[in-house]
Structure 1
Amino acid sequence: MPALKSSFKSIIIASLCVALAISCSRKKDKFINRNFHAVTAEYNTLFNGYNALEEGREALNNTYFDNYWDILPVERLEVFDDVILPGQSKNENFSRAEEKAIKAIQKHGMNIEGKERNPQIDEAYILLGKSRYFDQRFIPALESFNYILYKYPASDKINQAKVWREKCNIRLDNNELAIKNLKRLLKQESLERQDLADATSILAQAYINTKALDSAITQLDIAATATKSNDERGRFRFIQGQLYNALGVKDSANMAFDKVIVLNRKTPRIYMIVAQLEKINNFNVDSGNKFEVATLLRELEENRENRPFLDKIYHQTAEFYLKNESDALAINFYNKSLRTNSRDKYLKARNYERLGDMYFEASVYADAGAYYDSTMTNLVLNSKPYRVIKKKRDNLKDVIYYEAIAKTNDSILNLVNLSEADRLAYFNEHVEALKVKAQIEKEQAEVDENNSGLATVNNQIGALSNAGRGVPNQATLFYFYNPTTVAYGKNEFVKVWGDRTNDDDWRWSNKISTGVAGNISNSNDLDAISEEEKFNPQFYLSKIPSNQKTIDSISNERNYAYYQLGLIYKEKFQEYDMAKNRFQDLLKSNPEERLKLPSKYNLYKIYELLGDHDEAQIAKADIIASYPDSRYAAILQHPELGASEDENSAENLYEKLYELHENQQYAQVITNSDTYITQFDGEPIVPKFELLKAMATGRLFGYEAYKKAINRVAVTYANTSEGKQAQHIEDQVLPQIAKKEFVVSSDSILGHYKVVFKFKDKTPKEVNGFKSTLDTVLKNVKYYKLKSSKDIYSPNTTFIVVHGLHSKRVADTFDQIISEKDKEKIKIPYFAISSENYQIIQIHKNLEAYSNLYNN
């Protein structure tokens, strides 16, 4: 009997295995086969695939950062510019979803006689397309959705496939095609609920991309009503508000934002917060209730649930107070927004820019420049906003530089003019302040050291407790995660190095910001000061300059800074009061003679611009009486000469001088430059004349003279664009042309060669006559395209150079390629030279060395 039961069980198991094997066949269109593969695909392969897809989408949403400064995209998907190659993937979840979709198609597809019998395969293709779409492989995704439309026209997923196909088209920038197809879909099909929401929302995105904002608003309204997801509803309504704002319809925008606010906790809180802030941004300060807005902002700030959004709340609060001309409150809230360490770099840039603009309008240019620097660090390099801020910052560069010089030198000169008793009193007070500061730092360091020890113990305990849960404790991993040790490190840095500016070469002593005492000793390495010297007033007293030559140099530097500041405030910023103060301060300080007249003339012009006609007449009379032969006096006495002044202006004279330089009249350029430098002494055009003179000097007298002249421009006019250009030449160009060794030429090596005719102490008429004859001869030369040029070598030597020869042998025997009758016309001796060696003799003026080396 047991044997019979065992045999029966075996038969049953065998039958089941046979039935299972038969049902697994994908080639038989049987009920059991169809349902087996459909159920297996749906509840196994596709189930796992969709789980992987959702995990991938959740990961994308967690890492996606919305830019609320621009109109939000309908779909939260950041598209990267990286090219995705076959076999590559940005997210392993989408790769796994794609693998499951392919497996379902390959293992469970039942394509019998050209027709798919498994009703789940269209779902597999939908999964395949979605996984590729979110993996940003839009063309393969488009192919998947097109395959459904082609192969499964009766599928219940057909409308979904059509919508996703148009999403792919939009990502591929085929917006017009997407609009056409979606409008046809909405017209031909009666879509409901989520299908309708998906179709209209993506149609709205296509309209936004094509700048048809009013059409986008209509579609988003339909989508927000139809969608089952409150997350989507909040986003769609918020985008509606943004679009109304973009169209300038603020009332409708506020109504859309109100619909977001009503959703409250049903939608992500960020939408509600930003909707509130957008409504506040639309507030009319002239007609609205300011108290209500201020109260709402305070409530948003105090609500504990809003802590993650304080950066935006503080920024909008600052904007509100700025519109109400409450500058102090605005500055306070901009800084509070910055202290939240927001992830929103553009928000940080806006905060810094606003602060920079406010300090700029208050004429505190050094602080404005610092804020603009911080603005640029939070903007995309070379983007349009970056370039706008950079232009503002560059305009401040000179004023910040000269204000620093004026402030520093004024401080030193004030100390120079104090009596011995007053100096001692000043530095006694300074040393006492240093002692108090040092004592506070010492006490703080002791507290921090004790706290750091306690923090270390706590961190170790925390690390042990977290270790059991597999959670790493950041404080034990890295120094900068511990705020106590960071504070201690900052104090130690200040104790060792002092208050340093955040820029290059910070270790140099002139980077220390220690007030007047620091300015006095900038010439020394303050890092080496002992504690005894640091707290000894006599040390600082010994650093006050006493040599009259040094004091005069400091005074002259300060005066030149005053003059430049006066020009900058007048010409660049139209800050006429500040310009007037600088010129007046300059004239009170007994400046060099070269600065007096242009300063007085600029003051006269400023008085006229400010409407101070009495002051203008006094300044005019002073210029005419004190400088009767000057061009300024001539203009003031004869205003009709003002029209001719344009012709003889510094700019026009420079243009004419530059033309002379282009025509190789270097000696005249040097002579005229000296005249104009004296004539326009103290004016911004002078560095241009100096640089042009240096260039002409190099062309006429060679490398060493050029090097000396360029160095002078770089040092004397260091903060001008010409001085920086000269410094670039000195650092980058001069080393490249310093080589004066000649290149050995070979008859067998092809290259560029020249034939040179030398004229010494000849008149321009003789040289030009020969060149004209030579040009006629060169036209008759066969097989070669030759041309000539006239090059100045030295004040009394000119070269006529033949170009277009590619062989040393041909250059050496130049006369042999000329016809016999033409040889009679050019009997002047010549020499052949490679282009490299010709450049060397022109740069270093060493023709004699070349002649001795190659023409013995």
Structure 2
Amino acid sequence: MRKLSVFIILLLITAACSQFSNAPTSKAWHNMNALFNSLIIARDNMKQADKELFAKRDENYSALMPILLPIDTNKTQAVATNLKEVIEKTSLIAERHSNSKYLAEAYILLGKARLMKGDFVNAIEVFKYLNTTTKSENGRQQALIWLMRAYTEQRDYETALKVAEVIRTLDLNKQNTRDFYQAKAYIHQRRGEFATSAAIAEEALKLMSKNEQTARVHYAVAQMYDIINQPAKALPHYLAVLKNRPNYDMEFYSQMNALLDQAAVRRGSAAGIQENFRKMLTDRKNADLKDKIYFTMGSLEAKKGNYNKAIEYYNASLRNSGGNSLQNAYTYLELAEIHYNQLQKYEKASAYYDSTLTALPKNSSDFERISKRASSLSDFVKYQRVLVLEDSLQALAAMNPAALDKTLEKIILQKEEDTRKAKELAELAAKKNSNVAVDLLSDKDPTFKRWELYDPLVVAKNKSDFQQLWGNRPLEDDWRRKEKQTGSISFRTERVTNTPADGSNAPQKTAPIAQAQSSTGLSMQELESRKKELYARIPVSPEKLVASQRKQEEAYYQLGKIYNFQFNEPQNAISTFQTLLSRFPNTIHEAEALYLLTLLADNPQTSPYRASLLSKYPASTYARQLLRGNVSITSDTESKANVVYAQAFNLYSNESYQSALKMAEDGLITYTGTSIEDKFAMLRIFLLAKTGQKEVYQQALNEFVQGYPSSNLMTKAKELLAVLNKK
């Protein structure tokens, strides 16, 4: 009987301690076990993980500071053990202590740990589950805030903002209000909505205590105000950074950016601001930060429009970088932007953009934009060089033999002299003390020159010179053999039209200039060999002259498209296309050039280029594009189109090709916009092939591929084009 009583008592105690019981003893028991066996350990591990990630973060103070540290699974590997412990301990609470008052906190820690590991799907499920099941209002608020953060890290900003709208209806406590404002400001910052983000972040700052995270938010808000060109609002935040226990780098950058904004809002004289920069340069603590100081000084001059002075300071930043590739990337970028946007020196801009890409991290937000710009500029410079080169070659071809021989000799000797001087300067730079004293403000040192392999402009120029002389040669034996395909040469010369009576352009061998030869060390044999190589590139025959002109024709066409589509410079595009049409009236690109000139006109409907296009190329894709918007398609129109197409096809079947071609072209124009327009276009292609109009046939095929990407006949068009290209 006693044993039965003991068993019953134990059974009652066990039932009372069940996690599904709401009895006070059960809750107290599970609260105690959840807290001391799991939650405290999970809290400590999460706190340690947050602390370590924040301490080891990589901040780029030259780029926009994120309001919250983005989730980076590569960096969270360092705290993988802590996160694993958090997940294990919080999972125990969910499994064994479901009636504990700490359950909501356990789920928050569990979801956060999964989020930090990059497990977005499970993290979102945890936060959603907690939102719908918890009775804790604080737990629900935190779940929704972290759910919003999870969607933000997934770049699902629309869903994140929908969650934000739900949170706005809740009565948040102070801590959750602060976290909500930070998370929402982070969304708008990621979306590029800087004014909205800055305004929301300012509300969060009112609820934040003094610490380094607060300093980060102040810095980010200041940067966003700078981006939207409101320095008066940015300046107080830069100054507030200094009052919130920042690290030295953040303090340093805040001071420099504050000086820029002071200059912008006229709160300090130019002399006073320059004096502050001088003090920073002479401060021994800033010995490793001179490149940033010079960079900021360059930015100040660029904002004032003093671009030459800005370039001096940016070059000083590069000289004092000490191998800081990231800072160099932003310095190269500023140099590229100045040469591209303000100075419009595209060749130099291209070299600086290329240098930017070599130093800029590929995960940078600007990497894709800069890559596209660099690619566009590379093509632009290539075609510009073609124009200059072919003009020079054609000018040489027009010279009399004696003048041509002397000119080629001067080119070779001048090149040798330039190479010798560059080598001397490189040797001087290599021997020069790297700690040479430089004027702190003017940064002028006439004897300084960077080693050529570190100078992007010198490298780009030498690479271009090599390709112009030798072409794109692979790294292999005998790359200098004459049989290899040669490149092109770069020089400038005045056009001379005098030619001998017999019309011969063969060069006359003359004695090389003795003085020049002695300074360069070239032997007569080598000089004559180089002259012979250069002469082989000059278009002295009618065939070579036509080939040279074709290169110019293509260059004008490509430059016009680059101006129009990539640089967004319509006036330059118009003038380039006009030059193309005037210099090459029979160009194969005439239809497209007329079409683009029509679109670029102030009033396309009355443009003479429109009339010319419709008159000369009525069946072209470009003409139909202009007409398509003016055609009203009805069922009657479709019916007539089918009748005309059937008649044209019957003529084609009966081998009446000329009649069929005329009917197909008329139908293509008359029934533009109908459902069988692509059939008319394909029938026309067949008929052009039958009538032997090869060039028009090829052009029609290319236009079909461009104009009817969704046509069922696209496969056939590509097959025909492939056969044509193969032939």
TM-score by length of 2: 0.54
Q: State yes or no: 1:53 paired with 2:39.
A: no
Q: Figure out how many residues of one structure are paired with residues of the other and give that number.
A: 542
Judge conservation of contact 2:651–2:659 (CA < 8 Å) in 1: no
- Aligned partner letter, 1:130: K
The one-character-per-residue Cα deviations of 1:558-582 (angstroms, maximum 9, x if unpaired) are: 997999899989998989xx99xxx
Residue 144 of structure 1 corresponds to: 126
Q: State yes or no: 1:131 paired with 2:120.
A: no
- The within-5 A match list for 1:5-16 is none
- Decide which of 525, 531, 534 is 1:539's aligned counterpart: 525
- Aligned partner letter, 1:272: E
Residue 291 of structure 1 corresponds to: 271
Residue 282 of structure 1 corresponds to: 261
Residue 103 of structure 1 corresponds to: 92
Secondary structure of the 1:505 match is: coil
Q: State yes or no: 1:257 paired with 2:216.
A: no
- The within-5 A match list for 1:773-792 is 791=687
Following the alignment from structure 2 to structure 1, what is the Cα–Cα distance between the partners of residues 193 and 346? 43
Q: Which runs of 5+ in 1 are unaligned?
A: 1-18, 82-87, 448-485, 517-531, 584-593, 598-645, 663-752, 773-786, 798-834, 847-856
Would the alpha carbon gap of residues 140 and 498 (structure 1) be closer, same or farther in structure 2, given more than 3 Å must change? closer
Question: How far off its partner does 1:219 sit?
Answer: 4.8
Question: How far off its partner does 1:259 sit?
Answer: 1.0
The one-character-per-residue Cα deviations of 1:681-711 (angstroms, maximum 9, x if unpaired) are: xxxxxxxxxxxxxxxxxxxxxxxxxxxxxxx
Q: State yes or no: 1:164 paired with 2:149.
A: no
Residue 214 of structure 2 corresponds to: 233
Secondary structure of the 1:27 match is: coil
Pairwise CA RMSD of aligned residues?
A: 6.7
Question: How far off its partner does 1:131 sit?
Answer: 0.8
The one-character-per-residue Cα deviations of 1:589-613 (angstroms, maximum 9, x if unpaired) are: xxxxx9899xxxxxxxxxxxxxxxx
- The within-5 A match list for 1:347-746 is 347=330, 350-357=333-340, 360-361=343-344, 364-374=345-355, 383=368, 386-387=371-372, 390-391=375-376, 394-405=379-390, 500=466, 505=473, 507=475, 535-542=521-528, 543-545=530-532, 552=540, 656-659=615-618
Judge conservation of contact 1:405–1:558 (CA < 8 Å) in 2: no
The one-character-per-residue Cα deviations of 1:276-303 (angstroms, maximum 9, x if unpaired) are: 3433443556955222222333444454
Judge conservation of contact 1:366–1:400 (CA < 8 Å) in 2: no
Secondary structure of the 2:325 match is: coil
Would the alpha carbon gap of residues 35 and 487 (structure 1) be closer, same or farther in structure 2, given more than 3 Å must change? farther
Residue 27 of structure 1 corresponds to: 18
Judge conservation of contact 1:163–1:198 (CA < 8 Å) in 2: yes
Question: How far off its partner does 1:126 sit?
Answer: 2.6
Judge conservation of contact 2:35–2:102 (CA < 8 Å) in 1: yes
Q: State yes or no: 1:201 paired with 2:201.
A: no
Question: How far off its partner does 1:538 sit?
Answer: 0.9
Secondary structure of the 1:544 match is: helix
Judge conservation of contact 1:133–1:168 (CA < 8 Å) in 2: yes
Following the alignment from structure 1 to structure 2, what is the Cα–Cα distance between the partners of residues 549 and 125? 76
Question: How far off its partner does 1:556 sit?
Answer: 6.9
The one-character-per-residue Cα deviations of 1:107-154 (angstroms, maximum 9, x if unpaired) are: xx345xxxx1x4544432232122123234445334434555665535
The one-character-per-residue Cα deviations of 1:202-261 (angstroms, maximum 9, x if unpaired) are: 354456678886775565345334334511211222233245445654322211221113
Secondary structure of the 2:105 match is: helix
Following the alignment from structure 2 to structure 1, what is the Cα–Cα distance between the partners of residues 420 and 234? 60
Would the alpha carbon gap of residues 34 and 400 (structure 1) be closer, same or farther in structure 2, given more than 3 Å must change? same
- The structure showing larger relative contact order (alpha-carbon pairs under 8 Å, at least 6 residues apart) is 2
- Aligned partner letter, 1:505: R
Following the alignment from structure 1 to structure 2, what is the Cα–Cα distance between the partners of residues 768 and 218? 66
Larger radius of gyration: 1
Residue 204 of structure 2 corresponds to: 223
Secondary structure of the 1:74 match is: coil
Judge conservation of contact 1:24–1:36 (CA < 8 Å) in 2: no
Identity %: 15
Following the alignment from structure 2 to structure 1, what is the Cα–Cα distance between the partners of residues 121 and 279? 49
Residue 272 of structure 1 corresponds to: 251
Question: How far off its partner does 1:324 sit?
Answer: 4.1
- Aligned partner letter, 1:367: K
Following the alignment from structure 1 to structure 2, what is the Cα–Cα distance between the partners of residues 53 and 336? 45
Following the alignment from structure 2 to structure 1, what is the Cα–Cα distance between the partners of residues 406 and 375? 48
Residue 435 of structure 2 corresponds to: none
Residue 310 of structure 2 corresponds to: 330
- The within-5 A match list for 1:37-76 is 41-43=34-36, 45-54=38-47, 56-57=49-50, 60-61=53-54, 72-76=65-69
Q: Which moved more, 1:551-560 or 1:372-381?
A: 551-560
Following the alignment from structure 1 to structure 2, what is the Cα–Cα distance between the partners of residues 561 and 839? 25
Judge conservation of contact 1:169–1:178 (CA < 8 Å) in 2: no
The one-character-per-residue Cα deviations of 1:23-77 (angstroms, maximum 9, x if unpaired) are: 9995398999877765665455444434543454456547765576776442111
Would the alpha carbon gap of residues 306 and 41 (structure 1) be closer, same or farther in structure 2, given more than 3 Å must change? farther
Question: How far off its partner does 1:654 sit?
Answer: 6.1
Would the alpha carbon gap of residues 417 and 282 (structure 1) be closer, same or farther in structure 2, given more than 3 Å must change? farther
- Aligned partner letter, 2:311: I
Question: How far off its partner does 1:650 sit?
Answer: 8.5
More strand by share: 1
Judge conservation of contact 1:167–1:202 (CA < 8 Å) in 2: yes
Secondary structure of the 2:243 match is: helix
Judge conservation of contact 1:145–1:161 (CA < 8 Å) in 2: yes
Following the alignment from structure 2 to structure 1, what is the Cα–Cα distance between the partners of residues 347 and 196? 48
Judge conservation of contact 1:311–1:342 (CA < 8 Å) in 2: no
The one-character-per-residue Cα deviations of 1:140-194 (angstroms, maximum 9, x if unpaired) are: 334434555665535876665564355446555334444444444456x4x3xx5
The one-character-per-residue Cα deviations of 1:447-488 (angstroms, maximum 9, x if unpaired) are: 9xxxxxxxxxxxxxxxxxxxxxxxxxxxxxxxxxxxxxx999
Residue 813 of structure 1 corresponds to: none
Following the alignment from structure 1 to structure 2, what is the Cα–Cα distance between the partners of residues 558 and 95? 69
Would the alpha carbon gap of residues 371 and 102 (structure 1) be closer, same or farther in structure 2, given more than 3 Å must change? same
Q: Which runs of 5+ in 2 are unaligned?
A: 1-9, 432-451, 481-485, 493-517, 586-604, 622-648, 668-681, 694-715
Following the alignment from structure 2 to structure 1, what is the Cα–Cα distance between the partners of residues 284 and 256? 17
Secondary structure of the 1:262 match is: coil
Residue 729 of structure 1 corresponds to: none
Would the alpha carbon gap of residues 768 and 203 (structure 1) be closer, same or farther in structure 2, given more than 3 Å must change? closer
